[in-house]
Structure 1
Amino acid sequence: MAGEQRRQTAKPAGSVNAKTEVPGTLATMRSMPESLAAEAAVLGSMLIDPECIGDVVEIVERDAFYRIEHRHIFEALITLYEKNKGIGIDAVLLRDELVKRDCLEEVGGVEYIAKILDSVPSSANVAYYARIVKDKMLLRELISTTGAILENAYNQTGEPHEALDDAEQRIFAITDRNISGSATALKDLVVRSFELIENRQGSHVTGLSTGYYELDDLTCGLQNGEMIIVAGRPSMGKTSLALNIAEHLGLIEKTPLAIFSLEMGRQQLAERFLCSISEIDSQKVRRGLLSDEHYKKLADACAELSEASIYIDDTSTLTPLELRAKA
């Protein structure tokens, strides 16, 4: 029985490093996602056509390869590419570099290098092969991460939300690795910039108006991508200022917006909106000292606010990661 268990849990030497291991029993249930054929195709393409190496490194890195042998070969090819620009790379140079690294035999010797060369006829589809390799890596990381989350949940001794925060950060870390930017030609950027400049012509407020004209004069409105901090001592009107700006954006500018409130509840915020639109003293609302005229004003304010695309989230434990996800 013990021998059978060892056979189930044993992994081929050099097949995967600690980064891709799954905590607990999940590691013994299924083999990790991989495409050794795609990995060999990427390496073969890099050896056949070193000019494609620049495209490859934009998609994958060393740890994207499942087999440790492929990681060694990838590192050797990158080293040769950086040292021998303009000279080229071939099987002989690769062999010498692996010998220097004392890992030629570990990767399978010159026979395996020849096998890699025969694995792909050309480098035409190298980007496609590289994306397959990266996708398999992301799946392995997801499996590893979910295993760690499972172990953490079983062994958690603190508050449950701490385990949730840890799980969220781990998943977002994988998501961030899958996000890759790309260079944009300057000619395309200047054309777009010219259009934006042209659209601003004749208007001193080039962003979203706050409804406070002096503030708009200083900031040119709320600009895309900016974060504005409203600072002040307690009870100095920070929330009122923010709600007035939201009211202007939602009702006057007809701009959809979301309000995330960590302190004040959604119902309290709704009441403040109603009092502001109807111009009724909030103390009268709170004490129930309303006349028929007040009720009419509140009904009109309610109808007006019902047309606005304003959303309120009063989750008090909202983290920056959760805010990002909801936004």
Structure 2
Amino acid sequence: MAIEAPIPRDRIPPQSLEMEQAFLGSILVDATPMGPASEFLKVEDFYRDTHRLIYEAILALHERNSAIDLLTVQEQLRIMGKLEQVGGAPYLVQLTNATPTSENAVYYARVVHEKAILRQLLSASSKIQSLAHSDYDDIRQVVDQAEQAVFQVAAERDTRNFVPMPVLVNEVYSALETLSNQPSMTTGLRTPFHRLNWMTAGLQASDLIIIAARPSMGKTSLALGMGQYAAIHERAAVAVFSLEMSKE
């Protein structure tokens, strides 16, 4: 939940209008990065109100799995009754012309999101200052409220939150389409064991795989062997952590 508290007027809140423009312009040119960007970038992350409205229109198209380009966003803004408020078609064209490259859209989105977190942190610090100067009956309540203000900002860094169903369906459909074009039935990382590959279709991303057996039955050797195979034959990055043996 966003924290609202007065921000001193003598300092401009953290923001980057250039990054906001670059991201929006990138999406108008090539909407491919909207999938990963929409997972963490919210409408309220934009500092300028006009940019919020444009991103809101882009999100509406994205959630309907509609085409996203200059004309469709312009039409969506017209449907929303906000086209003139954002500067009309000339400003949308200006965004596309001012975009350095559409390949860095996700990076631009990250910067916009980080600036929003800094603004929330600034607002939280202002709220904590007000709490510190207020009359209180129990200091523990003041500390609890201060901690809650900071924790709410910290929670914004965790992008693993509820995912809208349209976004999830689009991602799964794209993944299934990619898998259908593969010649092999093994869709994950292969292991040295062909029958295991056939049974599991390989080691799948995000899966937690537990190797269980009695002591001294070769669990560690098996895991290391599978990791070595993935590193050599699959060209995958493999990290090994052990909680029971020294690094030697």
The TM-score normalised by the length of structure 1 is: 0.50
Deviations 1:75-98 (A, max 9, x none): 10111223353xx22222222211
Deviations 1:142-187 (A, max 9, x none): 001111111122123221111111111111111111023499x762
Using the alignment, how far apart are the partners of 2:59 and 2:10 within structure 1? 35
Using the alignment, how far apart are the partners of 1:84 and 1:175 within structure 2? 31
Deviation at 1:104, TM superposition (A): 1.2
2:51 aligned with 1:70: yes
Q: Cα gap change, 1:189/1:147 in structure 2, threshold over 3 Å: closer, same or farther?
A: closer
CA contact (8 A) 1:21 1:27 kept: no
Using the alignment, how far apart are the partners of 2:88 and 2:128 within structure 1? 40
Deviations 1:198-233 (A, max 9, x none): xx4115xxxxxxxxxxxxxxxxxxxxxxxxxxxxxx
Using the alignment, how far apart are the partners of 1:48 and 1:72 within structure 2? 18
Q: Which residue of 2 aligns with 1:174?
A: 153
Of the candidates 121, 126, 137, which is equivalent to residue 147 of structure 1? Answer: 126
Deviation at 1:70, TM superposition (A): 0.4
Q: Which residue of 1 aligns with 2:42?
A: 61
Using the alignment, how far apart are the partners of 2:10 and 2:154 within structure 1? 25
Q: Cα gap change, 1:101/1:173 in structure 2, threshold over 3 Å: closer, same or farther?
A: same
Of the candidates 3, 9, 22, which is equivalent to residue 41 of structure 1? Answer: 22
Using the alignment, how far apart are the partners of 1:20 and 1:111 within structure 2? 34
Using the alignment, how far apart are the partners of 1:149 and 1:20 within structure 2? 11
Of the candidates 205, 209, 214, which is equivalent to residue 202 of structure 1? Answer: 214
SS at match of 1:130: helix
CA contact (8 A) 1:20 1:141 kept: yes
Using the alignment, how far apart are the partners of 2:108 and 2:137 within structure 1? 44
Structure 2 portions without partners, runs of 5+: 162-170, 172-187, 189-202, 216-243
Deviation at 1:27, TM superposition (A): 1.8
Q: Relative CO higher for 1 or 2, CA cutoff 8 Å, sep ≥ 6? A: 2
Using the alignment, how far apart are the partners of 1:179 and 1:189 within structure 2? 17
Q: Which amino acid aligns with 2:52?
A: R
Using the alignment, how far apart are the partners of 1:84 and 1:107 within structure 2? 23
Deviation at 1:188, TM superposition (A): 4.5
Using the alignment, how far apart are the partners of 2:51 and 2:90 within structure 1? 14
CA contact (8 A) 1:36 1:66 kept: yes
Structure 1 portions without partners, runs of 5+: 1-18, 204-253, 255-327
Using the alignment, how far apart are the partners of 2:80 and 2:115 within structure 1? 27
Of the candidates 100, 108, 114, which is equivalent to residue 79 of structure 2? Answer: 100
Using the alignment, how far apart are the partners of 1:188 and 1:112 within structure 2? 42
Of the candidates 177, 187, 209, which is equivalent to residue 204 of structure 2? Answer: 187
CA contact (8 A) 2:27 2:69 kept: no
Deviations 1:39-70 (A, max 9, x none): 11111111111221111112311111001100
Using the alignment, how far apart are the partners of 2:24 and 2:137 within structure 1? 46
Q: Which residue of 1 aligns with 2:94?
A: 115
Deviation at 1:20, TM superposition (A): 7.3
Of the candidates 122, 132, 137, which is equivalent to residue 111 of structure 2? Answer: 132
Instruction: Give the ranges of 4+ consecutive aligned residues of structure 1 lying more than 6 Å apart after TM superposition.
Output: none
Q: Which amino acid aligns with 1:61?
A: K
CA contact (8 A) 1:64 1:133 kept: yes
The count of residues paired between Structure 1 and Structure 2 equals 178
Q: Which residue of 1 aligns with 2:138?
A: 159
Q: Cα gap change, 1:147/1:89 in structure 2, threshold over 3 Å: closer, same or farther?
A: same
Indicate the RMSD between aligned Cα atoms, in angstroms. 2.7
The TM-score normalised by the length of structure 2 is: 0.65
Q: Which amino acid aligns with 1:113?
A: L
Deviation at 1:119, TM superposition (A): 1.8
Q: Which amino acid aligns with 2:204?
A: K
SS at match of 2:116: helix
Larger radius of gyration: 1
CA contact (8 A) 1:45 1:126 kept: yes
Q: Give runs of aligned pairs for residues 82-97 of structure 1, distance below 5 A.
A: 82-85=63-66, 88-97=67-76
